[in-house]
């Protein structure tokens, strides 16, 4: 598999993923993993999640922004690991972009609820595998 083919296959996998696994550096340098709804993505460059400002992950990202996003189809032995950094955004643009109908259930104060925030993951490198093919490439 060429690097160009891997980019196409990787993007297809990320675009169709309903959730993704976010990796962050925990307090003792132990990697934490959490399944999160993948709200949006911009190509392979950026992935957006919603989160609670009070969550463990927001504190971890504030301490250490190094992070990863992983999506996999375990049945067909396909997986994409994006390596990069994560940041927490709570400005109006980020809130509006990710807000969905029904979020009032989690954030009763609405789009300006102080506990509502957005995690933006920025990818720098990628590793895509499918069966025995395994390709690493830079982003973009």
Judged by the rule CB under 8 A, the positions of this chain that interact with a copy of itself are 18-19, 21, 23-26, 28-35, 64, 66-68, 70, 72, 74, 79, 81, 83-84
**Nearer residue to a copy of itself within complex by CB, 31 or 110:** 31
Cα–Cα distance measured from residue 21 to residue 115, given in angstroms and rounded to the nearest whole number: 21
The least distance separating a copy of itself from the CB of residue 93, rounded to whole angstroms, comes to 27
The least distance separating a copy of itself from the CB of residue 75, rounded to whole angstroms, comes to 10
The least distance separating a copy of itself from the CB of residue 39, rounded to whole angstroms, comes to 15
Per-residue burial over 38-48, b if 16 or more Cβ lie within 10 Å, else e, is bbebeebebbb
**Nearer residue to a copy of itself within complex by CB, 49 or 94:** 49
**Nearer residue to a copy of itself within complex by CB, 31 or 91:** 31
The least distance separating a copy of itself from the CB of residue 92, rounded to whole angstroms, comes to 28
**Nearer residue to a copy of itself within complex by CB, 36 or 94:** 36
Q: Give the other-Cβ count within 10 Å of 49's Cβ.
A: 23
Listing DSSP states for 11-71 in one string gives HHHHHH-SEEEEEEE-TTSPEEEEEEE--EEETTTEEEEEEETTSHHHHHHHH--EEEEEE
């Amino acid at each position: 598999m060429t690097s160009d083919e891997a980019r196409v296959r990787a993007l297809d996998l990320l675009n169709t993923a309903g959730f993704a696994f976010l990796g962050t550096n925990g307090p003792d340098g132990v990697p934490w993993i959490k399944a999160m709804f993948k709200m949006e993505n911009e190509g392979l460059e950026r992935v957006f999640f919603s989160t609670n400002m009070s969550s463990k992950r927001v504190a971890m990202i504030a301490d250490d922004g190094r992070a990863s996003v992983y999506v996999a189809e375990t049945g067909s032995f396909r997986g994409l690991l994006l390596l990069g950094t994560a940041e927490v955004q709570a400005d109006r643009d980020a809130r509006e972009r990710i807000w969905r109908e029904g979020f009032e259930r989690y954030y009763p104060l609405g789009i300006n609820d102080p506990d509502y925030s957005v995690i933006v993951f920025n990818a720098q490198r990628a590793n895509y595998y499918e069966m025995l093919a395994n390709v690493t490439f830079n982003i973009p």
